Amino acid sequence: MNAYPDGYYWNIFPTTRTPDPMPVYDEAAPRLWPGAVLDAPYTVPLQRLRSHSLRLSDGHRIGVTVGGRGIPLVVAHGFSFAGGLYVQSLSRLASMGFRVLAVDLAGHGGSTGLGVRGWDVGAYRRFLTQVLDELGVGRAVFCGHSLGGRLLAEVTAAEPERAMALLLVDAAVGQAWDDLAAFACWNPALLGVVGATLAADTLQTLFLTGDQGLKLQGLAIPQAMANAFAPWRLVAPALSVLLSGGSAVTLRRLKEAGLPVFVLHGERDQVVPVAAARDAARRAGGELVLVHGAAHSWLLEDPETLRSIVAELLGDGLGTACLRAIADVGLDPATVSLAEMEQAFYAPDALALRLGPAARREELRPSQEPRFSWSRVA
């Protein structure tokens, strides 16, 4: 494992204030594409993010958390969570030359459910592609955790031309997970065990991780209250994956498309077994990154670890994918500007470019070493 660059950061939580129609960016802030941070000591201040509530053309309301500038990084959260819960990890990624777009999945956070369509995993895939189209997002890097990983795998397998690369973080894919899901459909008791395991993992993250847990509690409590008052919203998303028939075809299509896939997985994940991650990486022709000593929600437990892994991946496979995408649209990666990237990877006057807070400098605080170590398995 390579050491990650030293630097200084601060952490800003999202606000609910209505954003400016067009953010005004701090011209003194660095202009970086993903990977350029590896060329010098990493001292880029953390970007702020802001959560928005939007209405799609069909009337569907969605929640999306946005921040940063550069290549689109589409993020999908885990079951019962919301995009804003990941703001600490996302602010670090938004500081690496990505424009982070964390979408609340249908029936989660600020996004309304899909009604009678909510039992079909394909409906969630179509929902996400509609969101991307209406936000004006072109080709992007995709990163999904747990349920979100499964749904983004479906999106990119169906339309690989949308993706530069796919990061699956403890995603609900792979044979071991598929077997567990299939058995749970016929055994409600096992379904309860899976739910209890996920709940235990969440509680451990919130209450047994010291100061970090206290920070997460402030983000998680509103979402937990919303789930408590409307628990039925979560039934359809859960069953859509359990009844989807497995992920083997999806993973095979990813491999056939030649899409760079990176499978990041906690070594002690009790929700999605690590055997599932090994199988998913093999079937998708991707690279497995094992996070040692980590459970299912390690990216919430320690926001520095995900950033550090992504920084390392930008040094080769992920960085190569970004460079290739820049070159594919006729731009020179050595001289490309943020304005040129935004013109290439977003629709003209894209809504995605009009969301988010204005970049500004804040008081810096020393960064911390990642809590977890990891190893990469070819």
Domain boundaries, the chain: 8-377
Ranking 117-126, 139-148, 239-248, 334-343 by mean pLDDT, the lowest is: 239-248
Q: Is-contact 93 67, C-beta < 8 A?
A: no
Q: What ranges in the chain are assigned the alpha helix state H?
A: 87-93, 121-135, 147-158, 175-186, 188-207, 210-229, 235-242, 248-257, 274-284, 298-301, 303-313, 317-328, 338-345
The more confident residue out of 8 and 17 is 17
* Residue numbers annotated as active site: 146, 269
Decide which of 3.40.50.720, 3.40.50.1820, 3.20.20.70, 3.30.70.1730 is the CATH code for 8-377: 3.40.50.1820
Residue 356 predicted with pLDDT over 60: yes
Residue 67's alpha-carbon distances to 70, 126, 189, 357, in angstroms, are: 10, 24, 41, 7
Q: Is-contact 141 168, C-beta < 8 A?
A: no
Q: Is 329 exposed, middle or buried (0-12, 13-18, 19+ CB in 10 A)?
A: middle
Residue with token string 């609900």 = 172
Segment 325-333 mean pLDDT: 93
What span, in angstroms and rounded, lies between the C-alpha atoms of 346 and 369?
A: 34
Tell me the whole-structure pTM to 2 decimals: 0.82
Residue 223 predicted with pLDDT over 80: no
What span, in angstroms and rounded, lies between the C-alpha atoms of 290 and 356?
A: 32
CA 78 to chain centre: 9
Segment 211-237 mean pLDDT: 57
As a whole number of angstroms, the longest Cα–Cα distance in the chain is 59
Q: Is-contact 72 345, C-beta < 8 A?
A: yes
Q: Is 328 exposed, middle or buried (0-12, 13-18, 19+ CB in 10 A)?
A: exposed
Dump pLDDT digits (tens) for 39-94. 333 445 677 888 899 999 999 999 999 998 889 999 999 876 777 778 888 888 98
